[in-house]
Amino acid sequence: MNALAEIKKDNEIASDWLLYYPYRRRQYYDDLLDVENSRPVSEVNIKTGPGNQTMQKAVKMVELSHTEKWLQTVELVESVLAEKKLIFLEVRREAAYMHKTVRGRPAWVIYVQRHYADRMAARYNTTPDKFWTHENTVKDWWREMVEIVARVALKQGCL
């Protein structure tokens, strides 16, 4: 695989983690509780193969460790974002489930433009038009966030 294809793939993975962080965080804690509350397996009953509960628990713990690294990566990036970028990210996550296009544009862009302007206006008690953001700016902000998450993920050993 060439370097550009690898970068694109890393950015897609980082984008998914950034977008679906709230869901994945809830799922992580649910899974962690499941593993912690699973009953211990008696050594006499240990089998080999896929039915081995001890092995399954170990595999799940490794998966949870990887998930935890990703969650920490997203949290680290969020911790350095300015307020306007946090609001943008919040709105972008809401729009993550939109898979349509509107007049040739991804639907999430229009959703983010409108709701970001509304939230910022409410925050600063002014009109939304003062916070209307051009489509290119919205896409650039998203691309920059994804690239930062991907770089941090590389440093953290997630990718």
What domain range is 68 assigned to? 3-156
Q: For 68-87, what is each residue's pLDDT tens digit?
A: 999 999 999 999 999 999 99
pLDDT reported for residue 31: 87
Question: In total, how many domains does the chain have?
Answer: 1
**Per-residue pLDDT, 55:** 67
Whole-number mean pLDDT of the chain? 88
| Closest-CA residue to 73 (of 16, 132, 5) | 16
**Burial zone of 84 (CB within 10 Å; 0-12 exposed, 13-18 middle, 19+ buried):** middle
pLDDT value at 147 more than 70: yes
pTM over 0.85: no
